[in-house]
Amino acid sequence: MNPRAGRRVRLSVRLALLAAAALAGGCAWDGPMSTVVARSDLNRSILSLYTIITWATAIIGAVVFVVLGIVLTRFRARGSDDTTLPRQIHGHTAMEIGWTIAPALILLIIAIPTIQVIFRTQSAAAPPNALEVTVRGWQWWWEFRYPKLDVVTANELHVPVGRPVVFALEGPDVIHSFWVPQLGGKRDVVPGRLNRITMTPEKTGEYYGQCAEFCGASHANMQLRVIVEEPAAFDRWVAGQRAPAAEPSGDAVQGKDVFARNACVGCHTVRGVSAGVLGPDLTHFGGRALFGAGLWPTNVDNVAAWVKDPPAHKPGTKMPNLHLSDADARAVAAYLVGLK
Amino acid sequence: MSDHHPAAADAPHEHASVATYVKVALILSAVTALEVGVIYIRQLTPIIVPLLLVMSMAKFMLVVMFFMHLRYDARPLTFVFVGPLIIAILLGIALMTLSGAFLLLHH
Amino acid sequence: MATHEASLFRHQAAVHAPAASGLWSWITTVDHKRIGILYGCTAFVFFLIGGLEALIIRLQLARPLNTVVSAERFNELFTMHGTTMVFLAIMPFSAALFNYMTPLMIGARDVAFPRLNALSYWIFLLGGLFLNSSFLVGAVPDGGWFGYTSLTLRQFSPGHNIDFWLLSLQILGASSVMAGVNFIVTILNMRAPGMTLMRMPVFVWMTLVVQFLIVLAFPPITIGLVFLMFDRFFGTHFYDVTAGGDLHLWQHLFWIFGHPEVYILILPAFGITSEVLPVFARKPLFGAPVVIYSGVLIGFFGFGVWSHHMFAAGMGPVADAFFSIGTMLIAIPTGVKIFNWLATLWGGRLRPTVALHYAVGLVALFTIGGLSGVMHASPPVDLQQTDSYFVVAHFHYVLIGGSLMGLLAGAYYWWPKITGRLLDERLGRVQFWILFVGFNLTFFPQHYLGAIGMPRRIYTYLPGRGWEFWNLMSTIGAFGIGLSILLFMVNAVRSLRHGAVAPADPWDGRTLEWRTSSPPPPHNFDVIPPVYGRDTFWREKHGDSRGRKPAPLPANPEPHGIHLPAGSFWPLVTAAGAVIAAIGALTSLALVVLGALVLVVGAWSFALEHHRNPAHVEQVGNLGVDHRKLAMWVFLGSECLFFGTMIATYLAYKGQSPIGPYPHQILNIPVTSVSTFDLLMSSLLMVLALAAVQRGDRRQARLWLFGTAFFGMIFLGFQAYEFTSFVHEGLTLQQNLFGSTFFVLTGFHGGHVTLGVALLLTLWILDLRGRLDVRDSTKVEIVGLYWHFVDIVWIIIFTVIYLIP
pLDDT single digits (tens) C356-378: 999 999 999 999 999 999 999 99
Compute the nearest-CA separation of B37 from chain C (Å). 10
Distance (Å, whole) CA A190 – CA C285: 48
CB contact under 8 A, A54 and C457: no
Among C78, C149, C371, C505, the residue to mutate for chain A (most A Cβ within 10 A): C371
CB contact under 8 A, B25 and C686: no
- pLDDT confidence bin for C775, thresholds 50/70/90: confident
Which residues are bridge partners to A159 per DSSP?
A228
Kindly state whether B47 is in contact with chain C, defined as any CB-CB distance less than 8 angstroms.
Answer: no
pLDDT at position C44, please?
98
Percent over 70 (pLDDT), chain C: 95
Interface size between A and C, measured as CB pairs under 8 A: 304
Nearest Cβ partner of C624 from B8, B39, B93? B8
- The per-residue pLDDT for A8 is 55
Q: How far apart are CA C424 and CA C429, in angstroms?
A: 9
Q: Where are the beta strands (DSSP E) in C81-221?
A: none
- Show residues of chain A in contact with C247, CB under 8 Å: 175, 190-193
Cβ of C476 under 8 Å from any chain A Cβ?
Answer: no
pLDDT digits (tens, 9 = 90+) for C79-110: 999 999 999 999 999 999 999 999 999 999 99
- Model confidence band, residue C2 (pLDDT cutoffs 50, 70, 90): very low
Residues in chain A with CB shorter than 8 Å from the CB of C282 are: 77, 85-86
Band (pLDDT 50/70/90 cuts) for residue C620 is confident
Nearest CB among A58, A123, A316 relative to C317 is that of: A123
CB contact under 8 A, C383 and A186: yes
**Could you tell me which chain C residue has the CA closest to the CA of A124?**
C317
Amino acid at C217: A
User: Which residue in A46, A87, A104 is closest to C380 by CB distance?
Assistant: A46
Q: What is the pTM of this model?
A: 0.94
Tens digits of residue pLDDT in C549-600: 887 776 666 656 677 888 899 999 999 999 999 999 999 999 999 999 999 9
pLDDT at A13: 58
Spatial neighbors of C588 by CB under 8 A, at least 6 apart, are none
Q: Dmax of chain C from CA atoms?
A: 85
Q: For residue C19, name the pLDDT band (cuts at 50, 70, 90).
A: low
Per-residue pLDDT at C10 exceeds 60: no
Q: Do A17 and C545 make contact, defined as CB atoms within 8 angstroms? A: no
| C444, A27 Cβ separation under 8 angstroms | no
Per residue in C273-313, pLDDT tens?
999 999 999 999 999 999 999 999 999 999 999 999 999 99
Judge if ipTM > 0.90. yes
Judge whether residue C689 has pLDDT over 60. Answer: yes
Distance CA C332, CA C377 (A): 13
- The residues of C that are catalytic are 81, 110, 145, 175-176, 259, 261, 263, 274, 308-309, 334, 337, 456
- The CA distance from C715 to C753, in Å, is 8
Q: How far is C736 from chain B (nearest CA, A)?
A: 18
Put simply, the answer to whether A186 touches C453 (Cβ < 8 Å) is no
Q: Does C467 lie at the interface with A, CB-CB under 8 angstroms?
A: yes
Would the CB atoms of B15 and C691 count as touching at under 8 Å? yes
* pLDDT < 50: residue spans in chain A: 1-2
Alpha carbon distance A286, A302 (integer Å): 12
When pLDDT is averaged across residues C428-457 and rounded to a whole number, the result is 96
Strand pairing partners for A166? A132, A198
| Structure-model confidence comparison of residues A247 and C544, the more confident one | A247
Q: How far apart are the CA of B28 and the nearest CA of chain C, in angstroms? A: 7
Q: Which residues pair with A269 in a beta bridge?
A: A275
CA distance to partner chain C, nearest, from residue A51 (Å): 10
What integer pLDDT is reported at residue A15 of this predicted model? 58
Cβ-Cβ contacts under 8 Å, C640 against chain B: 81, 84-85, 87-88
Q: How confident is the model at residue C62 (pLDDT cuts 50, 70, 90)?
A: very high
In this complex, do C799 and B105 lie within 8 Å of one another by their Cβ atoms?
no
Instruction: Label residue C464 left, alpha or beta by phi (over 0 means left) and psi (-120 to 50 means alpha).
Output: left
The helix/strand/coil state of A104 is: helix
Considering CB atoms only, which of C1, C647, C795 is closest to B60?
A: C795
Report phi then psi at A177, rounded to 5: -140, 125
Q: For position C311, what pLDDT does the model report?
A: 96
DSSP state of A163: S
Alpha carbon A264 to chain centroid, angstroms = 29
Q: Which residues contact C456 (CB under 8 A, 6 or more apart)?
A: A212, A214, C387, C388, C389, C391, C392
Do A118 and C320 make contact, defined as CB atoms within 8 angstroms?
yes
Question: Residues C454, C465: contact at Cβ < 8 Å?
Answer: yes
Q: Is the dihedral of CA A314, A315, A318, A321 positive or negative?
A: positive
- Per the model's pLDDT, the better-predicted residue between A88 and C682 turns out to be C682
What does the pLDDT average to over C321-332? 94
CB contact under 8 A, A89 and C454: no
> Is pLDDT of B47 > 80?
yes
Instruction: State the average pLDDT for chain C.
Output: 93
Distance CA C577, CA C595 (A): 4
Q: Rounded to whole angstroms, what are the CA distances from C174 to A308, B66, C178, C576, C628?
A: 50, 30, 6, 13, 18
C338 interface with A at CB cutoff 8 Å: yes
Window from A80-89, A161-170, C332-341, C422-431 with minimum mean pLDDT: A80-89
Average pLDDT for residues C624-648, to the nearest whole number? 96
Instruction: Count Cβ atoms within 10 A of the Cβ of residue C224 and give its class: 0-12 exposed, 13-18 middle, 19 or more buried.
Output: buried
Q: Which residues are A157's β-sheet partners?
A: A226
C665: distance to nearest CA of chain A, Å?
Answer: 27
For C118, residues 6+ apart whose C-beta sits below 8 A from its C-beta are C28, C29, C30, C35, C568, C571, C572
What amino acid occupies position C299?
G
Q: How far apart are alpha carbons C775 and C766 in whole angstroms?
A: 13
- Find the mean pLDDT for residues C267-272: 97
Residue A37: half-sphere exposure toward Cβ, Cα within 13 Å: 16
More confident position, C345 or A7: C345
